[in-house]
């Protein structure tokens, strides 16, 4: 079945260092969504990418969607302690944009002050 994989599973960085998490789907995605979950919290929607090769920025966060629409990445520049949490990518099952979201297993980011 359709799978979404993320690497790395864990990442420990020193505050101020950069961080990148990668997301790969076994099938082409109509869109990719990114969520952040703080420890003990719930997933919070960050962004959605739709177009092949799309790049979007939110302050220190840069999101990319691959040309083949099967992979994506999230890059954080100069991490801060507020960036701590688990970052999930998720894509819709099938070719449509409705219903079931398939989540990756997440990348947990720890930032040492």
Q: Does 59 sit near another protein (CB under 8 A)?
A: no
Q: Is 44 in the site for another protein (CB under 8 A)?
A: yes
- 3-state SS of the chain: helix, strand, coil percent to 5? 5, 55, 45
H or E, element range at 111: strand 107-112
* Cβ atoms 2, 102 nearer than 8 A: yes
- Our finding on whether 101 is near another protein (CB under 8 A) is yes
Report in angstroms how near the CB of residue 104 gets to another protein at its nearest: 6
Pick the stretch among 13-21, 58-66, 71-79, 89-97 that binds another protein (CB under 8 A): 89-97
**Per CB under 8 A, does 88 bind another protein?**
yes
Q: Is 82 helix (H, G, I), strand (E, B) or coil?
A: helix
Contact flag: residue 100 with another protein (CB under 8 A): yes
If one asks whether residue 85 binds another protein (CB under 8 A), the answer comes out as no
Figure out which of the listed residues 45, 52, 55, 81 binds another protein, where binding follows CB under 8 A.
45
Q: Cβ 24 to another protein, closest distance in Å?
A: 14
Q: How far is CA 63 from CA 2, 40, 47, in A?
A: 22, 25, 8
The answer to whether the CB of 5 falls within 8 A of the CB of 103 is no
């Amino acid at each position: 079945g359709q799978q979404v994989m993320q690497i790395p599973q864990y990442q420990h960085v020193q505050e101020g260092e950069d961080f990148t998490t990668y997301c790969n789907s076994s099938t082409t995605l109509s869109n990719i969504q990114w969520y952040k979950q703080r420890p003990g919290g719930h997933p919070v929607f960050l962004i959605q990418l739709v177009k092949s090769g799309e790049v979007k920025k939110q302050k220190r966060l840069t999101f990319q969607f691959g040309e083949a629409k099967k992979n994506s990445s999230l890059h954080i520049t100069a991490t801060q302690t507020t960036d701590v949490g688990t970052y999930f990518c998720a894509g819709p099952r099938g070719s449509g944009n409705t219903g079931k979201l398939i989540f990756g297993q997440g990348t947990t980011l720890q930032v040492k002050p």
